[in-house]
Structure 1
Amino acid sequence: MAKVLIVDDAAFMRMMIKDILEKNGFEVIGEANNGLKAIELYKKERPDVVTMDITMPDMDGIEAVKEIKSLDASAKIIMCSAMGQQGMVMDAIKAGAKDFIVKPFQPDRVLEAINKVVGQ
């Protein structure tokens, strides 16, 4: 069972992803509402995969991806973006993210992305 860290500044979005994942047998081992907390939790929990929002206070998702990848080059991170953030998504992919999902979340797409990345 893959362990997932969910990072989003909106509690409602974290709840939506957590619900999709837990219903499908994934273990959510932590939640963070900004990039700084995401890095702390990543170091502590070493999740199999991270879902990372792009726009957050304190430290955005792209900076957090860079930091996590510098700690662990094999980190598996999936970006969560709103419509119209393609440029930021490309920056995140360049920084080392493996895939992205678009809000509002479609359960099938979330599971497809997680399963694909976990299997890599």
Structure 2
Amino acid sequence: MQLNIFDASILIVDDQAANVLLLEQLLSEAGYTNLSMTMNPLDVCALHQQHAYDLILLDIQMPGMDGFQVMEGLKAEQKDSYLPVIVLTAQPMHKLKALQAGAKDFISKPFDLVEVKTRIHNMLEVRLLYKKLAEYNQQLEETVNKRTAELRDSENRFRRLTELASDWSWEQDTEGHFINMPDNLLNALGISRPNDPHQADNLDGWNENDRAKFNAILASRQPFVDFTFCRTNERGQAQHFRISGEPVLDANGQFVGYRGLGTDYKVLISVAS
């Protein structure tokens, strides 16, 4: 942390050459290595936009543009909400106004050398911690976005393989709606949505006895293996399926639906023969 602080970039802004030289000498002797100076307040915003200083030591009373106007310009150009400014002032009434304007601290004139070094050191500690947090948040966001993209890609590949294979997966929520299933599979199984969203999905074309047995199994919330059923599609052709499933519970043991696997039963018959 010490090396990071002494490598921090600092801009000294004061229209009095003696004050600039005094602060430069004091900070250099304290070990700070990345110092910049200007006596023209009109240059501050452009300099900060170019160099993104870790700290700006800003005099309040300057001709042409005072410190308050400089801070307004800095806030308009800031990419983040943190304004790294310590104001330099001999006027007690300016201290509170400067803090209200966005300055993080103040140093009184004439300078107390111990106060100057202490306030600058403390300010830079906070500033560098703020930057580390911002970098960490950015890295975290990039990692989350990357993992999300990978998961979506993996899910898309899995869905595509499911669509191409004779075996497929199925899921159902607590309302009896089939979820996370491609439309072509829903159509093949004769599953359609009812007008009432609180009712379970329709099982169109299913044999009535098979449909009643399937609903009874789901109502029991018990696992089942190799349940076979038949449905008649829109062309009047009989379709035969075999499915297995199990109830899904959340971390608190609450029922949240069913999931399982299924296959076109006619495919199994043709392979076996």
TM-score by shorter chain over 0.5: yes
Structure 2 counterpart of 1:16: 22
SS at match of 1:119: helix
2:83 alignment counterpart: 75
- Aligned residue in 1 for 2:123: 117
- 1:44 match: 50
Shift of 1:34: 3.2
Q: Deviations over 1:14-40 (max 9, x none)?
A: 000111111112134321223211112
| TM-score, normalisation: structure 2 | 0.41
Runs of 4+, deviation exceeding 6 Å: none
3-state secondary structure, aligned to 1:20: helix
Q: Does 1:89 align with 2:122?
A: no
Task: Decide whether the 8 Å contact of 1:14 with 1:31 is kept in 2.
Answer: yes
- TM-score, with length taken from structure 1: 0.90
> Whose Rg is larger?
2
2:106 paired residue number: 100
Q: Verify the 8 A CA contact 1:5 1:50 in the aligned structure 2.
A: yes
Instruction: State the number of aligned residues.
Output: 118
Rounded Cα–Cα distance in structure 1 between residues aligned with 2:69 and 2:97: 10
Identical residues among aligned pairs (%) = 31
Tell me how far apart the structure 2 counterparts of residues 86 and 78 of structure 1 sit (CA, whole Å): 14
Distance (whole Å) between structure 2 residues aligned to residue 28 and residue 55 of structure 1:
25
Structure 1 unmatched ranges of 5 or more:
none
